[in-house]
């Protein structure tokens, strides 16, 4: 006897958020998967206030290096954009290595290893494709007696010593993206990645980003979905049927991200700038007009005038460039200073760009229906 449809789990999938920022990656994850964020991890206090303002019920787990994942609530989806400073082409290109900010990927891999989410979502800069990666050594590992962190770091894997082993030839160094994908495969995840500019979704700037979506090869849902019948409901990502929960692509999207649906529907519309755009924006008129149409609101003033220090970028304009709802960062409580707002926005994710990437990647990893 199959489980009756009415006994299927109606709750949205649970999301765990790492390196959360203002929630620019959580919004598209919730939108695409019909999910809801259960907890987050952010050490920048002002930015954490922005996240808590929009997700008041999600606790902040704090510093990722201090979290004991064995005591954390399991989730269906784990998402995060680990720090990019050391893989960014505008940084020192120190690479994905122990002791660097970008080396915090190892801590995210530990979280994946311990929590075993069904899905993993990662975002980072273009430099992930070119920056080198240095594997951790046993000496770099967290001591077993330290109870503040997870034992047996997930990225401590021995490379094959033979001629064909990865990372053995200096002429062919292991890249940061290769290290991340290799770790995910080592942890039992099938991954796909895509790189695309923000201009592809209509934004008036390039902002190229890399997105990775990984799915557990052996489904291991965070929650047991048992009905009243004898059937065993499958994982959250299983094929839709009377004995399974809805696959991510078939789950109803949350009402509060409906604005992303509206933006998606306007990406392909033809837009012509008018005289007002040409007069105000000059050669940028077409790009500004298109993004105004997609976002559904006019572009704010791009700069703040200051007699003593000269013009400064307006945070409301940067917020608009990121395709966020008006006031998402600039009107959060408690209020952030201008510098804090600009820093948060500059490090954030453009939700519509991530939505397009995840939709495409999900179509590649989604189970085929019988």
Span 112-145, pLDDT tens digits: 999 999 999 999 988 788 776 765 544 444 444 4
Measured between alpha carbons, how far is 83 from 95 in angstroms, rounded to an integer? 11
- Which residues, including other chains, have CB under 8 Å from residue 171's CB and lie 6 or more apart? none
pLDDT higher than threshold 80 for residue 358: yes
233-289, pLDDT tens digit by residue? 333 343 333 333 455 555 556 688 999 999 999 999 999 999 999 999 999 999 999
Query: Mean pLDDT of all residues in the chain?
Result: 79
Q: Taking the complete model, does pTM exceed 0.75, yes or no? A: yes
Measured between alpha carbons, how far is 145 from 290 in angstroms, rounded to an integer? 56
Measured between alpha carbons, how far is 38 from 16 in angstroms, rounded to an integer? 6
pLDDT value of residue 367 = 62
pLDDT higher than threshold 50 for residue 339: yes
| Contact predicate 332/339, CB 8 Å | no
- Which residue blocks in the chain are alpha helix, DSSP H? 26-33, 45-54, 105-115, 176-186, 258-266, 275-281, 285-295, 315-321, 338-346, 351-365
pLDDT value of residue 366 = 72
141-172, pLDDT tens digit by residue? 444 444 433 344 444 344 444 444 444 555 45
Residue 6, CA distances (Å) to 216, 225, 239, 245 in order: 27, 12, 17, 11
pLDDT higher than threshold 70 for residue 107: yes
Compute how many other C-beta atoms are within 10 angstroms of the C-beta atom of residue 243. Answer: 21
Higher pLDDT, 156 or 40: 40
192-201, pLDDT tens digit by residue? 999 999 999 9
pLDDT value of residue 49 = 95
Q: What percent of the chain has pLDDT over 90?
A: 56
């Amino acid at each position: 006897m199959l489980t009756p449809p009415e006994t299927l789990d109606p709750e949205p999938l649970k999301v765990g958020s790492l390196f959360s920022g203002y929630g620019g990656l959580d919004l598209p994850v919730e939108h695409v998967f019909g999910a809801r964020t259960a907890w987050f991890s952010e050490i920048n206090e002002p930015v954490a206030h922005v996240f808590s303002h929009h997700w008041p019920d999600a606790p902040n787990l704090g510093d990722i290096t201090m979290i004991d994942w064995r005591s954390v609530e399991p989730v269906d989806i784990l998402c995060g954009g680990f720090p990019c400073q050391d893989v960014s082409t505008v940084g020192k290109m120190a690479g994905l290595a122990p002791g660097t900010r970008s080396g915090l990927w190892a801590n995210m891999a530990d979280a994946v290893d311990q929590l075993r989410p069904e899905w993993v979502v990662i975002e980072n800069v273009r430099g992930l494709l070119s920056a080198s990666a240095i594997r951790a050594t046993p000496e770099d590992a967290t001591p077993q007696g330290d109870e503040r962190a997870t034992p047996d770091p997930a990225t401590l894997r021995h490379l094959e010593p033979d001629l064909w082993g990865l990372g053995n030839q200096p002429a062919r160094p292991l890249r940061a993206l290769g290290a991340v994908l290799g770790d995910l495969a080592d942890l039992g995840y099938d991954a796909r990645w895509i790189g695309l500019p923000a201009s592809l979704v209509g934004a008036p700037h390039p902002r190229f980003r890399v997105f990775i979506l990984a799915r557990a090869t052996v489904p291991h849902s965070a929650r047991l979905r048992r009905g009243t019948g004898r059937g065993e409901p499958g994982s959250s990502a299983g094929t839709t049927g009377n004995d399974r929960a809805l696959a991510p692509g078939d789950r109803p999207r949350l009402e509060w991200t409906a604005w992303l649906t509206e933006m998606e529907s306007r990406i392909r519309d033809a837009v012509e700038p008018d005289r007002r755009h040409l007069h105000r924006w000059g050669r940028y008129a077409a790009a500004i007009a298109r993004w105004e149409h997609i976002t559904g609101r006019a572009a704010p003033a791009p700069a703040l005038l200051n007699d003593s220090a000269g013009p400064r970028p307006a945070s409301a304009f940067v917020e608009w460039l990121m395709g966020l709802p008006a006031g998402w960062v600039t009107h959060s409580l408690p209020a952030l200073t201008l510098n804090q707002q600009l820093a948060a926005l500059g490090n954030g994710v453009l939700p519509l760009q991530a939505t397009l990437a995840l939709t495409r990647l999900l179509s590649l990893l989604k189970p085929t229906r019988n």
